Structures are given as structure tokens and as C-alpha cells.
Chains A and B, each alone.
Chain A
Amino acid sequence: MLFELRDVSLARAGRPVLDSVSAEIHPGATAIVGPSGSGKSTLLRLLNRLADPDAGAISYRDRPLVEYDPLRLRREVSLVPQLPALLPGTVISNLRYAADLAGKRLDGRRYLGLAGLDAGFADRDVAELSVGEQQRTMLARALAQEPEVLLLDEPTSALDQAARDAIEATLAKLRAELEISLVVVTHDPEQARRLARRAVRLREGRVAACGALEEALA
């Protein structure tokens, strides 16, 4: 089992965001679906300990998440947030920062290519990129850490259809070639169908369904 959540609850400003969430996330590709405000992004942030639940337990590879060193965990379980937030500087300097943190050698051209950016982007200033290009740089930066699990929060929300198709093709390729597990938050059931084999469906902070994709989406 990749992740297992047992009765996980979390409140923000007195309002429950996640309420007794229990779910199993298997290796491979899993979509977390549900309307906006249903707790999808919050659930994703719990998986690499950007936040901890108020109650309940989460395990990763059958070991409690709290037993992992958070810094090492985040390099292994990499989260790409919905809104691009790059460090000031060039595209390649962002990739190098991430690779250095993970102690990996950087093959910039490869990771840019995987994220659908040509090598000419390497020396571009991130401030000059479109939102879609920034989002792809965020993906390339996460890949530069060679993670085992990618947590993606609405990875194509700022992209046009052609760029979205390119990213989705990249994610499929990553899963097939590098055996990276994906946990993808999306509000779009069709994207969930294209990317995932299993799904967790949330509604108002609770699990409405969890399991094989079509059953969970039904």
C-alpha cells in the first residue's frame, strides 16, 4: 500500500476541512476528485506532511508518516502545487536547486523535455514565462528530484488544450517508464479517466467513494 488514511480529520478556523477520511491509495495512478472546497488539495498536502491532520493516522508504505524525516519524505514524495511558485532566477536554476536538495545530478534537458519544454527554456527568467510555462517548469523541477511519488494539484488548470494533452502524455509516460506513482487532484472526471486507474471521491470533506476508477466516479 502506498498511502493509507484512517479517520483523518482536519479543521481550519473552526471549520472541518476533512472529516473522518479513510482511504487507501495504491501504487500506480490515483485521482482525487470532487467539487472545489471538498478538501482535495488539503488531503494532498497531508501526504508529504506540508500539514499534519488534527486526528487520525496516515501511513506511507506501511509505516506511519510521522516516522519519516519530513525533508527526506518530501524529496521522495514530491508535491507540485496548483499555483506556480518558482524561485526568482532562471528555469534551470530552479531545476538545479531542486536537484541539489535531493542530492541528484541534474539532466536539465531531459526534465524540461519530459515537462514539454524545449531546451531553449533553460536560461529564460521565470518572471517572463506564461502561467502555463511556469506550471510546466514546476513539474520539471519536481521531476529533477527523481521522486518515487508525484503529488499533483490540478496540474493542467492553467493550460490550453494542446499543453494539457502534452502534460497528460508526459504523466502517462512517467508512470509507464519510470514507475513513478501519481496522485492527481482534479475537478475534471474526464481527466481522472485519462490519467488514473483508481480514484478517491470527496464531498464536503468526507469520502464519498474510493476504489476502482469507474466505481468511484459513478
Chain B
Amino acid sequence: MSTSIHVSLGQVAAALALVALAAAISLWRRTDLERDIVVATVRSFLQLTAIGYAIKLIFEADTIWLVFALLAVMVLFGAITARSRAKKVPDAFWPLLIGLAIAAASTLGLVVALGIFEATPRYLVPVGGMMIGNAMTASAVALDRLGDEVTESRAAIEATLALGATAREAAAPFVRRALRSGTITLIDSTKTTGLIFFPGTMVGMLLAGAEPTDAVRLQLILLYALLGSTAIAALVATGLAYRNFFTPAQQLREPGA
């Protein structure tokens, strides 16, 4: 299915011309993003190079335990990163960590159990990385929205609690909206895929010389798995995180308390 291609560091360096173009536009239009562009470029180089070597080691070692360790580290960093987006949610780390872990374990488990991919590092590492990355974005967006919703709707939530509703009942409309905003981006982009943009895996496979039909089928599998992992992560994260806004006596906590 795949035909290896070799990419030299010189080719990567040449692509920096486009980064220079982006920085030039920022300077010209005074969007004040040059510094961020430089940081993004350096970080992406260092991080991808490091993960490239890590993956190479894992492929060569060919043991499933190293794969699990790498995925666990991804889940951990995913939760830490997403937490910084969900500042208004008290103790957002655990809901995010649990959501990402369940999303990764269930979707990877399913694609292996259904015989879509073999349980080998070559499949589990890249697919797991995609699942966790997208699940992280979805749950971060969902919890960011949940924080805004609860902060803006304190009066409505308290009015419902005052009727003797549980925290779960009082928070339900806001949890629903948060879950929706966390998952809708991928659903929308899945609708337009192939029309307005070509997804990354398919582009990568085409560049690597794969048959277009193979590239499309693999991309479809990944898109469907991503729909599952983002929904699971956002569902678990919002379902756990809303509780942190309330006390055991079904009271809405004071902000910052």
C-alpha cells in the first residue's frame, strides 16, 4: 500500500520560505504575530523531530508496552493543554484526563477489535495520536463553552436549584450546549471533506505515492474513528466537569471558591 519517500532536511529548510512570507505579512499588516510565528515554527520543529525519533525507537523495539506508554504521555499532555483553555471550570484536569483516556482506549480498542488495524506500533501510534489530539481539541472547546455558559447563567441555574432540581437537572441545558459546541466543528468539517479541503492523512498518502482509492479509504476510517473519539471525550469531560461547579448539597459554588 505504501511507498516510502525520503525527505531531506534541505527540503524542510526550503519550506521556511513560506514561514518568512507569513512573518512578512504579519509585519506588513501589523498583526503583531511575528513572535508567535517564530515560536510556532521552532516548537513544531523540535517537537515533531523529538516525536519522530521516539516513534522510530518504538517501531524498532516493536513492543506494545512502549506504545501504551507513549499514548499515556499524550493523554497526560493533552489534558494539561486542554485545561489551560478551560480556566473557568474548577479542577478541569481530571475530567479532561479521564475523557481523553476513555476516548483513546475505546476508539483504538474498537478499530483493533473490528479488525480495521493490526495492534502494532505502526498503526497504534499515529492513529492514537490523531484520536487524542482531536479529542483534546473537542473537549477543550466543550469545557471552555461550559465555563462561559455556567458563568453567564448563574441566576438561571440557581433559580432552577431553588425549585429543588438537582445540579444535574439545573446544568443540563448548559452541558448540552457545551457538548454540541465541542463536537460540531469536526462534524461540519467531515461534511465538507473532499469538497473544500483534503484531510491530512489522504494528502500524506498521495504524496507518499499511494493509490488514491487506498488513501481515501484510510482517510474515511480515520474520520469515522475521529467522530467517535471526539464525541466520547467531550461527553465524558462535560459529564464529569459540570459537577465541579456544585457542592454536595446541590449548591452552585461561588466563582473562584
Interface residues of A (CB under 8 A from B): 12-13, 48-52, 70-75, 78-81, 83, 85-88, 97-98, 101-102, 138, 141-142, 145
Contact = CB atoms under 8 A, between A and B. Distances in A.
Contact of B162 (A13, A79, A87): A79
A98 B161 CA distance: 10
Interface stretch (B4-12, B132-140, B142-150, B248-256): B248-256
Interface of B: 155-156, 158-166, 169, 173, 247, 249-252, 254, 256
A78 B165 CA distance: 12
Nearest to B157: A85
A98 to B, nearest CB: 5
A75 B164 CA distance: 5
A78 B163 contact: yes
Contacts of B166: 71
A69 B247 CA distance: 13
Given A81-B158, A83-B155, A85-B158, A49 B163 contact: no
A142 B156 contact: no
A88 B165 CA distance: 16
A81 B162 contact: yes
B249 A48 contact: no
Given A85-B155, A101-B163, 15 more contacts: A52-B247, A52-B251, A70-B250, A70-B251, A71-B250, A74-B162, A74-B163, A79-B162, A80-B162, A81-B155, A81-B159, A86-B156, A87-B156, A88-B173, A145-B164
A1 to B, nearest CB: 22
Given A81-B155, A83-B155, A51 B165 contact: no
Nearest to B170: A87
A141 B78 CA distance: 44
Nearest to B248: A70
Contacts of A74: 161-164
Contacts of B165: 71, 101
Nearest to A66: B249
A12 B173 contact: no
B7 to A, nearest CB: 54
Given A97-B163, A101-B163, A51 B251 contact: yes
